[in-house]
Amino acid sequence: MRVHLTATAAAAVRRGHPWVYRDGIADGGGHGSKRGDGKRGERGDGKRGERGDGKRGERAHRGGAAASGDVVELSAEGAPFLGRGLWDADSAIAVRVFQRTQAPPLDERAIAERLERAFALRDGWFAGRDTTAYRLCNGEGDRVPSLVIDRYERAAVIRLDGDMLAPWLDRLLPHLARALGARGVRSIGLRARASAAGEDADGKKLAHLHGPPLPDRLFVRETGVAMEVDLARGQKTGAFLDQRDNRARVRALAAGRRRVLNLFSYAGGFSVAAALGGAGRVTSVDSASAAHASAQRTFRENGVDPAAHEFVTADAFDFLEKARARGDRYDLVICDPPSFAPSERAKPRALGAYRRLHTAVARVLDRGGILCAASCSSHITAEDFLATLDDATLERDDLRIRAIHGQPEDHPTLPAWWEGRYLKFVVLE
Ligand code: SAH
């Protein structure tokens, strides 16, 4: 099937942007420009697994010629062939672009070849790093749009953004099983989407696809550190793998720090890193108590006594307010909240929330302390985010930016795909 793009959408495709929004379609797919649904601002956030789904349930009923997963050929004024992609009948993203060349045909063999390339890169990147959990395929960033695959020891967990690859899964599975099996992966599971109805009665969000049953929970290794991952019920595909290198950085920064505060600590990745790095006492704050239970098992697995540290189930803003009132001070604070800006429209509010948070954090950061502030929203640029860490916000003038980090190599992006570069990790000292 052919889909004719507007000039703007065609230019983006030429640059290598992998998405065509519905309003970028001039004609074709049974879904023309008359809809003009203006969903551009609704694409989700790169990190929390809700990327680009927009409003679901608004089927392409106008004409409805194409079904999710159909191969479409893209054209535009003066460009009879722009590329090839897969159609999504439901998502705000109508087409995810796979290639801009005529050959080879877009079939499971072509996709399998790209996957093999992605896996082979990881073989090299993670050789000898004592790391058994990493992203095997980062969808668009690995030129396999929509397909995210994370490895946890002998298990691989797939997450699909949008619907277009779901009809392909059966055909791709034998290729995946072979390529991953050769690398020691025995089981493959499928993670339900963030808020999807894919959760069964006991809250499990993981469906079995191949091999022995996947464990609900397991320990992986990350840069030499043991880490419990909740595959069945945890966030994302189980862990925030994108903070791996930043956790290693925190481990180094924690040496000799007496009191460390990890806000939004989830399964305690930054906490155990700080403890192993030599921090005296680490306080982990998260609103989810199950996350603390997981963190404590991770502490024990690494030979660290959780009783020597503190796990607080509380709202981070409330905690900071009380900590300040008590006069508590910390000499290293890690602050990695969930995305405050799931859409472009939410941006002003999100910036305000980051500011309030950073003001409160700065009030409990001791003189000479280090602040690690993270943002995982692609709608907040690095400059936007730094503006929420300026002197006026922090009410102090003694800090400097020591480093700005992002996501690790197993979360690659494309030059034109700015949405993929979501993670900011700013170290102020
Ligand atoms: N830093 C973590 C990831 C954080 S994810 C890591 O590297 O693994 C965000 C976490 O914030 C979740 O665990 C969620 O339970 C928690 N959370 C969300 N809102 C919160 C709030 N207002 N106060 C405290 N924790 C919150």
Q: Which residues pair with 149 in a beta bridge?
A: 137, 158
Question: Is 372 one of the annotated active-site residues of the chain?
Answer: no
C-alpha span between 174 and 371 (Å, rounded): 47
Q: Which residues pair with 168 in a beta bridge?
A: none
C-alpha span between 166 and 147 (Å, rounded): 10
Give mean pLDDT, residues 293-316. Answer: 98
pLDDT of 195 above 60: no
Which pLDDT band holds residue 343 (cuts at 50, 70, 90)?
A: confident
Q: 151, 218 in Cβ contact below 8 A?
A: no
For 187, the token pair is: 């089981």
Q: How high is the pLDDT of residue 410?
A: 98
This prediction has a pTM of 0.91
Q: How high is the pLDDT of residue 199?
A: 60
Q: For the ranges 44-58, 60-74, 141-155, 236-250, which has the lowest average pLDDT? A: 44-58
Number of H helices, E strands in the chain: 10, 20
Q: Give the nearest ligand 1 atom to 266 CA.
A: 13
Which pLDDT band holds residue 194 (cuts at 50, 70, 90)?
A: low
C-alpha span between 304 and 68 (Å, rounded): 49
Give mean pLDDT, residues 237-245. Answer: 96
**For every residue of 192-217, which 3-state class applies, written as one string?**
CCCCCCCCCCCCCCEEEEECCCCCCE
Bond from prior residue into 104 cis (ω within 30 degrees of 0): yes
Q: Which residues pair with 333 in a beta bridge?
A: 261, 371
Q: How high is the pLDDT of residue 19?
A: 98
Q: How high is the pLDDT of residue 74?
A: 97
**For every residue of 16-64, which 3-state class applies, written as one string?**
CCCEEEHHHEEEECCCCHHHCCCCHHHCCCCCCCCCCCCCCCCCCCCCC
Q: Is 303 exposed, middle or buried (0-12, 13-18, 19+ CB in 10 A)?
A: exposed
Which residue, 43, 109, 10, 138, is CA-closest to 344? 43
pLDDT of 240 above 80: yes
Using the structure block, give the residue that is written with the tokens 């290198």: 245
Q: Look at ligand 1, atom 9, and give the residue with the nearest C-alpha.
A: 338
Q: How high is the pLDDT of residue 28?
A: 73
CA of 346 to the centre of ligand 1 (A): 19
Which pLDDT band holds residue 65 (cuts at 50, 70, 90)?
A: confident
Share of the chain above pLDDT 70, in %: 90
Q: Look at ligand 1, atom 16, and give the residue with the nearest C-alpha.
A: 264
Q: Which residues pair with 160 in a beta bridge?
A: 147
C-alpha span between 349 and 351 (Å, rounded): 5
pLDDT of 317 above 60: yes
Give mean pLDDT, residues 341-351. Answer: 91
Pocket of ligand 1 (CB under 6 A): 240, 243, 264, 266-267, 269-270, 285-288, 291, 315-316, 336, 338
Which pLDDT band holds residue 333 (cuts at 50, 70, 90)?
A: very high
Which residues in 79-132 belong to E strands, given as ranges?
79-87, 93-99
DSSP assignments along 308-366, one per residue: GSEEEES-HHHHHHHHHHHT--EEEEEE-PPPS-SSSTTHHHHHHHHHHHHHHHHHHEE
Q: Is 16 exposed, middle or buried (0-12, 13-18, 19+ CB in 10 A)?
A: middle
C-alpha span between 277 and 253 (Å, rounded): 7
Q: Is 182 helix (H, G, I), strand (E, B) or coil?
A: coil
Q: Is 80 exposed, middle or buried (0-12, 13-18, 19+ CB in 10 A)?
A: exposed
pLDDT of 58 above 50: no
pLDDT of 253 above 80: yes
Phi, psi of 70 (to 5 degrees): -65, 140
CA of 412 to the centre of ligand 1 (A): 24
C-alpha span between 144 and 132 (Å, rounded): 22
Mutating to test ligand 1, I would choose from 286, 334, 407 the residue with most ligand atoms within 8 A of its C-beta, which is 286
Which pLDDT band holds residue 121 (cuts at 50, 70, 90)?
A: very high
Report the chain's mean pLDDT, rounded to a whole number: 91
Q: How high is the pLDDT of residue 33?
A: 43
Which pLDDT band holds residue 50 (cuts at 50, 70, 90)?
A: very low
pLDDT of 5 above 60: yes
Q: Give the nearest ligand 1 atom to 288 CA.
A: 15
Q: 20, 85 in Cβ contact below 8 A?
A: yes
Share of the chain above pLDDT 90, in %: 86
Give mean pLDDT, residues 338-349. Answer: 91
Taking CA atoms, 289 is separated from 28, 285, 308, 332, 357, in Å, by 50, 9, 18, 23, 21
CA of 291 to the centre of ligand 1 (A): 9
Query: Hey, CA dihedral for 43, 209, 153, 409, is it positive or negative?
Result: negative
C-alpha span between 174 and 188 (Å, rounded): 11
pLDDT of 40 above 50: no
C-alpha span between 373 and 393 (Å, rounded): 13
